[in-house]
């Protein structure tokens, strides 16, 4: 037997017991004839002690050989520690070692295996298996495990059935970002890896499974931005005989359950916001509502007063930054420089200081009177001491810019508190979005997303105004999940295809067997999918999803630890019916 206890469980109550522990040498100190070794495993650290004269000399010699990260087994008596360490749960005791076995030696690790390490990102990725030894890294994956457990507990209670859908599926014409897999048994043909199990979950609804879920790997072969991974995990769900309201309630319940059971946090009922309001008030379909600073549209008070920049703009929009009228010239220049960076892309920034004495000081004093500025302040509900920041331009662009500025101001004022959680349902997304390149409408979500019944007449007149039964869950400005009620009847689907510019044949070719399945009694249904990596990162309080993936890939899609992808034997490729193109 390698151990009687783990390294995190011995307490004063165990004093006098003979125990055996196994683990890794965290550090050792040799001083005045005493030797102490900190022994570490997943559960904690326990101190081992040895004493010249008391400890058998061959044991002591062996203990003196121990290097960092050696794997050892130690047997001895639990004794009271002379100087208690109240920072560690085992800090009252130590093991006075009577027997010691070195189970394995270790090279000196390329970086420190401690909570704070000296290893750079690249080195830690190459030696990911060593980085995973560090508590903060391992704990993130333990959190992930706990999240998976809680998701499954909740959905099982709600009678969802977890069904594994295939990983080797069919490549679709629009699947430009599909990973493909050549088939040996069907030479010249390819499987694709799923970007999501969308088709299969809808088929399961046709099959009467009624409530399906899966925590499932999905794949996308695209240029990786900082926080994307070619393989990622979704909580994928679909329900039959439900309406949007049912889905929002059920998954609001799940999210609250997770906060309660994983973080011990009670969350209030989620706010709901129309997509159009989110864009108007926050310039984003994923607003961070932990703080206000909603947009104030100033067209009626700021335009046609002789300031050309505003007069030529489609939208003049401001935010009220509370208590910042005292910003210095330098601070204001900093903000102006910030909005001019490519990240924001504005041409300039207008500010209005609402002074404590009731007067106003602005960067456009030349064009606006105190009375006119007072109107801005009134419209913005600004108080003496507040600062107004104003941008102008094309509606879409200026909203984007103001969104970035608002988030920056939230950060500067410490209003985006890490331990505060404000989930939000953004609902009624547009059904269609105009694609300038192809000069036609595309489905914003996917072609099976249903339009609001009352908006269907608009399809012919104002397709861009048709709202969909589509919703996103946003937490603290991060999109965590999204879904829709699907179209289940033929006539609506035909209408949809017509407006997407598909002929019946094209639709059949592209969505073939799903369309066929729908001919055999498809129930009303809808669903949602959560980005599980991102959800874990949200719960863990860090930004990067990579930290929550045991063996992540870098931004070039490489696993630098195992060195994948890599070359493959030409003979093997030939066997698959393919050859490499010579560059």
- Annotation-wise, does 531 bind a ligand? yes
- Tell which one of 130, 316, 390, 407 touches its own copies (CB under 8 A): 130
Give the shortest CB-221-to-its own copies separation in angstroms: 5
Task: Give the number of other CB atoms < 10 A from CB of residue 171.
Answer: 16
Cβ partners under 8 Å of residue 121, min gap 6: none
Report the distance separating Cα 221 and Cα 195, nearest Å: 9
572 binds its own copies (CB under 8 A): yes
CB of 123 to its own copies, least distance (A): 13
- For its own copies, the closer of residues 170 and 272 by Cβ is 170
Q: Binder to its own copies among 13, 56, 84, 180 (CB under 8 A)?
A: 180
Going by C-alpha positions, the residue among 516, 247, 539 that lies closest to residue 419 is: 539
Q: What is the 3-state secondary structure (H, E, C) of 229-294?
A: CCEEEEEEEEEECCCHHHHHHHHHHHHHHHHHHHHCCCCCCCEEEEHHHHHHHHCCCCCCCCCCCC
Q: Is the peptide bond before 499 cis (omega within 30 degrees of 0)?
A: no
| 438 CB-near residues (< 8 Å, 6+ apart) | none
Q: Should residue 104 be labelled a site residue for its own copies when binding is judged by CB under 8 A?
A: yes
- Is 526 assigned a ligand-binding role in the annotation? no
Tell me: is residue 220 an annotated ligand-binding position: yes
Q: How far is the CB of 48 from its own copies (least distance, A)?
A: 16
Cα–Cα distance for residue pair 402/398, rounded to 1 Å? 6
CB of 508 to its own copies, least distance (A): 13
Between residues 163 and 332, which has the closer beta carbon with respect to its own copies?
163
Question: Binding residue for its own copies (CB under 8 A) from 88, 167, 267, 332?
Answer: 167
Q: Is 578 in the site for its own copies (CB under 8 A)?
A: yes
Q: Is 176 in the site for its own copies (CB under 8 A)?
A: yes
- Interior/surface letters 252-267, b for 16+ CB within 10 angstroms, e for the rest: bebbbbbbebbbeeeb
Closest approach of its own copies to the CB of residue 42, in Å: 5
Using CB under 8 A as the binding rule, whether residue 81 contacts its own copies is answered as no
131 Cβ contact list (under 8 Å, min separation 6): 111, 117, 119, 124, 125, 137
- Establish whether 401 is an annotated binding residue: no
Query: In this structure, are strands 315-321 and 271-274 parallel, antiparallel, or unpaired?
Result: unpaired
E-only strand ranges, 363-427: 387-393, 423-427
Identify residues 40-79 at the interface with its own copies (CB under 8 A).
40-42, 69-71
Contact characters 341-380, its own copies, x per CB under 8 A:
----------------------------------------
Is 45 or 388 the residue whose CB approaches its own copies more closely? Answer: 45
Chain centroid to CA 84: 41
Q: Is 222 annotated as a binding residue?
A: yes
Please report how close the Cβ of residue 437 comes to its own copies at its closest, in angstroms.
18
User: Which residue number, 12 or 568, has a Cβ lying nearer to its own copies?
Assistant: 568
| Cβ proximity to its own copies, 157 vs 271, nearer residue | 157
245 is in an annotated binding site: no
Shortest Cβ distance from residue 550 to its own copies (Å)?
Answer: 5
Q: Which region, judged by CB under 8 A, interacts with its own copies, from 104-112, 302-310, 339-347, 425-433?
A: 104-112
With a CB cutoff of 8 Å and minimum separation 6, the contacts of 306 are 367
Closest CA to 136 of 115, 121, 120: 115
Is 112 an interacting residue with respect to its own copies (CB under 8 A)? no
Interface segment toward its own copies; rule CB under 8 A; list 138-146, 256-264, 287-295, 453-461: 138-146
Shortest Å distance, C-beta 117 to its own copies: 14
Asked if 564 is part of the footprint of its own copies (rule: CB under 8 A), the reply reads yes
Task: Kindly give, in sequence order, each residue whose CB lies less than 8 Å from that of residue 31, ignoring residues fewer than 6 positions away.
Answer: none
Q: Contact with its own copies (CB under 8 A): which of 105, 249, 326, 462?
A: 105
- Other Cβ atoms closer than 10 A to 246: 13
- Among 5, 10, 19, 22, which residue interacts with its own copies (rule: CB under 8 A)? 22
Kindly state whether residue 164 participates in binding its own copies, applying the rule CB under 8 A: yes
Contact 525, 200 (CB under 8 A): no
Tell me if 253 contacts its own copies by CB under 8 A: no
Residue 148 interacts with its own copies (CB under 8 A): yes or no: yes
CA dist., res. 63 & res. 56, Å (int): 11
Could you give the CA distance from residue 219 to residue 229 in angstroms, rounded to a whole number? 8
Left if phi > 0, otherwise alpha if psi is -120 to 50, otherwise beta: which for 264? left
The binder of its own copies chosen from 46, 78, 90, 191 (CB under 8 A): 191
Tokens of 352: 């209005």
Intra-chain end-to-end CA distance of the chain, in Å = 58
| Choice between 174 and 433, CB closer to its own copies | 174
- Which of 86, 118, 223, 436 lies at the binding interface for its own copies (CB under 8 A)? 223
Contact track, its own copies, 233-252, x by CB under 8 A: x-------xxx--x------
- Tell whether residue 170 is a contact of its own copies (CB under 8 A): yes
Among 46, 47, 198, 199, indicate the residue that binds its own copies (CB under 8 A). 199
Q: Is 156 in the site for its own copies (CB under 8 A)?
A: yes
Distance CA 18, CA 251 (A): 51
Alpha-carbon distance 42 to 28, whole Å?
19
Taking CB under 8 A as the criterion, the residue among 13, 513, 543, 570 binding its own copies is: 513
If one asks whether residue 583 binds its own copies (CB under 8 A), the answer comes out as yes
Out of 152, 303, 442, 452, which residue is the one contacting its own copies (CB under 8 A)?
152
Pair 186, 577: CB distance under 8 Å: no
User: What's the chain's length in residues?
Assistant: 583
Q: Which of residues 440-499 bind its own copies (CB under 8 A)?
A: 488-489
Q: Closest by alpha carbon to 487, among 161, 202, 201?
A: 202
Binding of its own copies at residue 397 (CB under 8 A)? no
Which position among 60, 63, 95, 169 is part of the footprint of its own copies (CB under 8 A)?
169
Q: What's the closest the beta carbon of residue 5 comes to its own copies, in angstroms?
A: 11
Which residues carry a binding-site annotation for L-aspartate?
Answer: 174, 220, 445, 486
Which residues carry a binding-site annotation?
Answer: 174, 220-222, 229, 445, 479, 486, 531-534
């Amino acid at each position: 037997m390698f151990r009687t206890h783990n390294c995190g469980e011995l307490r004063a109550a165990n004093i006098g017991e003979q125990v055996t522990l196994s683990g890794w040498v965290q550090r050792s100190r040799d001083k005045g004839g005493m030797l102490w070794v900190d022994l570490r495993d997943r559960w904690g650290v326990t101190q081992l002690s040895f004493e010249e004269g008391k400890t058998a000399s061959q044991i002591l010699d062996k203990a003196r050989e121990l290097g960092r990260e050696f794997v050892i087994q130690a047997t001895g008596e639990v004794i009271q520690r002379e100087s208690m360490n109240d920072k560690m749960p085992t800090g009252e005791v130590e093991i006075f070692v009577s027997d010691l076995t070195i189970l394995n030696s270790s090279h000196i690790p390329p970086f420190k295996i401690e909570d704070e390490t000296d290893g750079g990102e690249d080195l830690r990725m190459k030696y990911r298996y060593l980085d995973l030894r560090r508590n903060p890294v391992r704990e993130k994956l333990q959190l992930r495990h706990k999240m998976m457990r809680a998701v499954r507990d909740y959905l099982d209670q709600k009678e969802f059935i977890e069904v594994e859908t295939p990983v080797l599926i069919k490549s679709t014409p629009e699947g430009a970002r599909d990973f493909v897999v050549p088939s040996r048994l069907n030479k010249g043909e390819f499987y694709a890896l799923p970007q999501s199990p969308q088709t299969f979950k809808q088929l399961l609804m046709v099959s009467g499974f009624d409530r399906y879920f899966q925590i499932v790997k999905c794949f996308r072969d695209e240029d990786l931005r900082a926080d994307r991974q070619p393989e990622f995990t979704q909580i994928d769900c679909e329900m039959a005989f439900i309406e949007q309201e049912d889905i929002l309630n059920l998954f609001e319940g799940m999210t609250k359950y997770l906060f309660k059971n994983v973080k011990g946090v009670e969350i209030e009922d989620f706010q709901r916001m129309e997509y159009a309001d989110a864009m108007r008030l926050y310039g984003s379909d994923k607003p961070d509502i932990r703080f206000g600073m909603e947009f104030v549209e100033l067209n009626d008070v700021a335009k046609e007063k002789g300031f050309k920049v505003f007069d030529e703009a489609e939208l003049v929009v401001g935010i009220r930054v509370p208590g910042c009228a005292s910003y210095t010239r330098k601070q204001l220049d900093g903000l102006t420089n910030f909005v001019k960076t490519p990240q924001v892309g504005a041409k300039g920034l207008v500010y209005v200081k609402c002074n404590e004495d009731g007067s106003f000081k602005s960067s456009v004093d030349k064009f606006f009177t105190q009375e006119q500025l007072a109107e801005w302040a009134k419209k913005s509900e600004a108080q003496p001491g507040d600062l107004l920041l104003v941008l102008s331009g094309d509606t879409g662009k200026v909203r984007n810019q103001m969104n970035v500025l608002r988030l920056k101001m939230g950060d500067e004022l410490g209003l985006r508190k890490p331990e505060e959680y404000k989930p939000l349902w953004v609902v009624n997304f547009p059904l269609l979005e105009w694609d300038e390149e192809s000069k036609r409408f595309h489905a914003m979500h996917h072609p099976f997303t249903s339009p609001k019944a009352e908006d269907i007449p608009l399809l012919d007149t104002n397709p861009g105004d048709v709202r969909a039964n589509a919703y996103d869950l946003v937490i603290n400005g991060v999109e965590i999940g999204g879904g829709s009620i699907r179209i289940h009847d033929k006539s609506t689907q035909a209408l949809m295809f017509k407006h997407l510019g598909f002929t019946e044949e094209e639709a059949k070719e592209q969505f073939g067997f799903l369309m066929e399945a729908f001919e055999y009694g498809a129930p009303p249904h809808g669903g949602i999918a959560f980005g599980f990596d991102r959800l874990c990162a949200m719960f863990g309080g860090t930004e990067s999803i990579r930290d929550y993936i045991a063996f992540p890939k870098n931004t070039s899609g490489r696993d630098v630890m195992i060195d994948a992808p890599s070359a493959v034997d030409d003979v093997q490729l030939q066997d698959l019916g393919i050859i490499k193109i010579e560059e």
